[in-house]
Amino acid sequence: MVGIIMRQSRKQTAWKKSRTFGDVKGGRRWPKLKDNIVKRKHSLLKPSEFDKLPIYMVENPSKDFYFPITIDDIKNVLAQLPPEHVEGLTHIWLRKTNKKEKYQGVYTVGSGVRLITLYPFPKSNQLILGKERPTHKLLTWYKGYASEPQKEKDNWYIEFTEESARRYYLERLLLHEIGHYVNETLVRNKAARYKSENSADNYAFNMKIDI
């Protein structure tokens, strides 16, 4: 079931340094890795005791993007994971991207909300990696899903198919964000949380699922 997006007032969602109105614990950017924790507001209300969790939300992507996965795909992945790795997630949002948004996905926590947001994929099925040759770490992340890096007009890029993009979203991107949730809720060592990007990567690499 696709849930209703409930927004707080502009005053309620004002940016704060505290975690009250949303704290991004980690996210993966297009196309480079983001290793530091950043602050971010969210505009969702805490679910009621009657809501079936997680609440799923889907927006129509812009004309140049698409979602390679469905809500049913996500449900299938969650059903294969240990219950304690997913039972506290409140929302999963397939959200329309904008020019300012550079993330592939983010995990946000605050105000009774634990949200995973995934952004759409380019219809070209190409990811532009920038002018510098992509690092071994970055290529390892995409290995098995994308082509070898190619260069065109000073930019490096990798290319997917619709099926490999689907597998990437389910086996890498979604699991990466779930890894942030696991790190935030189950890892007791606070110092280790600052290495959460690596922990989330390892979760995605090591968790095996059938899609």
List, for residues 83-128, the tens digit of each pLDDT value. Answer: 999 999 999 999 998 777 678 999 999 889 999 999 999 999 999 9
Q: Is residue 198 part of a domain?
A: yes
Q: Which two tokens stand for residue 140?
A: 């390892």
**For all residues of the chain together, what is the average pLDDT?**
81
| Strand ranges inside 77-154, DSSP E | 91-94, 103-110, 113-118, 121-122, 126-130, 150-152
Are 62 and 149 contained in the same domain? no
Structure tokens, 92: 């999963």
Q: Are 179 and 204 in contact (CB under 8 A)?
A: yes
pLDDT for 60 equals 96
Residues 141 and 194 in one domain: no
Specify the pTM. Answer: 0.80
Q: pLDDT: is 150 or 6 the higher one?
A: 150
Which pLDDT score is estimated for 44?
86
- The answer to whether position 11 is within a domain reads no
For residues 145 and 67, membership in a common domain is answered with: no
Look at residue 172 and tell me if it is in a domain. Answer: yes
Looking at the fold, whether 142 and 51 belong to one and the same domain comes out as: no
The verdict on 116 and 100 lying in the same domain is yes
Residues 35 and 134 in one domain: no
List all residues 6 or more positions away from 57 whose beta carbon is below 8 Å from its beta carbon. 2, 3, 5, 91, 92, 93, 94, 95
H/E element, 182: helix 174-186
For residue 27, pLDDT over 80 is answered with no
More confident residue, 135 or 103: 135
Query: 151 and 173: one domain?
Result: no
Asked if residue 168 is part of any domain, the answer here is yes
Query: Is the model's pLDDT at 45 over the cut of 80?
Result: yes
Same domain, 71 and 147: no
Report the pLDDT value the prediction gives residue 111, as an integer from 0 to 100.
86
Instruction: Name the residue range of residue 134's domain.
Output: 126-159
Residue 155 placed within a domain: yes
Q: Are residues 131 and 112 in the same domain?
A: no
The pLDDT value recorded for residue 166 is: 99
